[in-house]
Amino acid sequence: MSRELHRYYRSLAADTDERVLPAPDRLRRSADRWARRRAAITVLAAAGLVAGTVAGSRLVLAAGPGPVPVPPPRVRPPRGRRPPRPRSRRRPPRRRRPSAVPPARAVRS
């Protein structure tokens, strides 16, 4: 190992020796407390989601179907005069081009 790396490790060991870790039983109690708190928060969040879903679905279902649209009134054209017919958009039939190959003749037997 290089001298510089050895010096860094010695410095790190000196820094960590100054910090006193709590006793194991105290660490376990703290971890258990955090675990219980996390579980309680998870349960409360799930209950909030379920309650919100139920309340939202009740609001949507209670509203029922939307209003029935009223059809527009029928307007009749005045008598004696017909409206112009719309022009057909169909294309006229295409003319067939004569084939370069003559049709086969039927052979009598």
Q: pLDDT tens, 4-33?
A: 888 887 887 777 766 676 777 888 999 999
Predicted TM-score (pTM) of this structure: 0.41
Q: pLDDT tens, 41-85?
A: 999 999 999 999 999 988 888 777 777 888 888 877 667 767 677
Q: What count of residues does the chain have?
A: 109
3-state secondary structure of 85: coil
For residues 77 and 83, is the Cβ–Cβ distance under 8 A?
yes
Tokens (6 digits) for 67 = 């209003």
What secondary structure, in 3-state letters, does 3-58 show?
HHHHHHHHHHHHHHHHCCCCCHHHHHHHHHHHHHHHHHHHHHHHHHHHHHHHHHHH
**How is the chain split into domains, by residue range?**
23-61
CA separation for the pair 6, 12 (Å, rounded): 10
